[in-house]
Chains A and B, each alone.
Chain A
Amino acid sequence: MSAELTQPVGQSAQQQEPRKVVPVWLFVLLFLLLYWSMVYFDQRGAWFNEQVYAPYHSFDQVVAFQPPSGEADFLAKGKQLFSANCAVCHMETGVGNIGNNCPNLVGSEWVSAAGPGRLIRIVSKGATGPIEVSGKVWSGGTMLNIGDVMPGDEPQKAENIAAILSYVRKAFGNNAGPVTPEEVAAVREQIKSRTTFYSPEELKAAPEK
């Protein structure tokens, strides 16, 4: 075995190789790359928001591309909410239920009133006491404050109530004007401190509009 082979290779290489300084431009490039990647992530990564998928870059962009809601969509939403919240007593067809003294919505003068003022009060705070609807007195029934206990924050509640009322005023052969979320929000602002159910007399004293 020759002497060259037994000599440790690494040691001699270490001794012969002069130390080299890493060029400064490499650090600058690294820093620029890091900076660019952070800016890219900030602009297009949406900070790992679970509701943002490609091709959208940010939550705001997803919000901007939401399809605008037409009148038909609003009524469809009202129908959905009516089925979930109201139909258990008023029935899907709006005929009411004699069994638990729940008045009809079909052809009801309360529903087809000139403005939704009283309806918003009933749905928001509830109503109890004998009430005359379509010439028949319904007594012993109580409507709960469904509008207040609905899930969601105040603007969502106003929108949901407006959708339900718009649907009720258009469906079942009724033909009254739609209800806007702004109208609902305005009335709910006036009655927000109330905690008791309305009586029919109080409702009649409230403005229709």
Chain B
Amino acid sequence: MNLGPLIFLAAFFSLACSWFGFVLTPQLQIGRLEQTNTVPAGALYPVMRPGLARQGLGVYRANGCAYCHSQQIVQTGTVCDVILTDPGTNQAALLVALRQLRPLLSETEDKEMMTGLPKTVRQGLSKEEASDLVKTLNSTSAKAAIWIVPIGSDISRGWGIRRTVAEDFIFDYPVMLGSHRVGPDLANVGVRLSDANWHLRHLYAPRSEAKDSAMPPYRFLFEKRRIEKTRSPEAVVLPPELAPEPGYEILPKPEATALAAYLVSLRANEPIFSAPVSVAAAPLAPDTNAPAGGAASSTNAPLTNAPAAK
């Protein structure tokens, strides 16, 4: 029996199925993603990384950083906090509403609630509960607002404020998502550690910055040079036990500088439509050309709606 055509068709069908599922559908879904806007401020996001940081992506790739570091924040849910921004004119009614909300707390604590606003009234509510609470509080002429809070183990570790989405990576090729986490996630490392010199020291001697780090030192990205006249300003500042002998200095090679610039540029934390999160809006920068007088300072008072420190 000649099974050739049947085997060919079966193989073709299997390959076509996987091509359809793994290539065509994702391409149709996210192949044409473009820059988006932050919500609600409306700034362009993401912006292209600086040139040095784009070279750094190549160094990151070449040294296999993605084998131990991921760049993806996992989010398991979203909850709402309710923050009180303005006590309004009818503070007696607000006090009654707050007492009903938190019967176990004393009246002094409720009164404290109304000073030093904005403050968080309740945390971890569902969207519906939060909307109801805001309505209740606003009916007393106070002003309350909903604060969107993504939750998840990565977020509670401080690795990011929201999940990462495909838009975060549209200017990266290839995307260094990574799958193993021998080291911490780096999707927002530029937010946590924004000093390029810290990254240079850490690359040269990881344990000088992170005790018990499992990361190997990347000393081949640096060179030891004799100091001819004066110390180079680019030289890495190292603790005494790691510093080279007197008369020598450790200089980062261009690869190390690019890699540090890339790490500092990793900031996937802007609130965008597909990954909503509340962040404190930046107050208007004070204007320098405002006419002399008190008017300007009062108009540009910070209008922040950030919740107080929890």
Q: Which residues of B contact A56 (CB under 8 A)?
A: 78
Q: Is B66 interfacial (CB 8 A cutoff)?
A: no
A residues in contact with B289, CB < 8 Å = 93-95, 106, 172-173
Number of A-B contacts defined by CB within 8 Å: 115
Q: How many residues of A contact B (CB 8 A)?
A: 39
CB of A6 closer than 8 Å to a CB of B? no
Q: Are A68 and B30 in contact (CB under 8 A)?
A: no
Q: Is B19 an interface residue (CB 8 A)?
A: no
Chain A interface SS verdict (over half):
loop
Given A55-B75, A73-B40, A172-B290, A65-B276 contact (CB < 8 Å): yes
CB-CB under 8 A from B166, the residues of chain A are 50
Docked complex Cα distance between A56 and B275 (Å): 9
B276 lies within 8 A of A175 (CB): no
Alpha-carbon distance A76/B145, docked complex (angstroms): 18
Shortest CB–CB separation between residue A152 and chain B, in angstroms?
A: 11
Whether A51 and B41, one on each chain, are in contact in the complex, defined by CB atoms closer than 8 angstroms, is: no
Q: Which residues in B have their C-beta under 8 angstroms from that of A73?
A: 40-41, 281, 305
A163 to B37, CA, bound (A): 15
Is B139 interfacial (CB 8 A cutoff)? no
Contact A51 B274 (CB under 8 A): yes
Sampled A-B contacts (13; CB under 8 Å): A50-B29, A53-B163, A55-B78, A62-B273, A62-B276, A65-B148, A67-B39, A68-B146, A72-B304, A73-B41, A75-B284, A80-B42, A170-B299
Taking beta carbons and an 8 Å cutoff, which residues of B are in contact with A?
A: 25, 29-30, 33, 39-43, 75-78, 85, 127, 145-148, 163, 165-166, 271, 273-279, 281-284, 287-291, 295-296, 298-300, 302-305
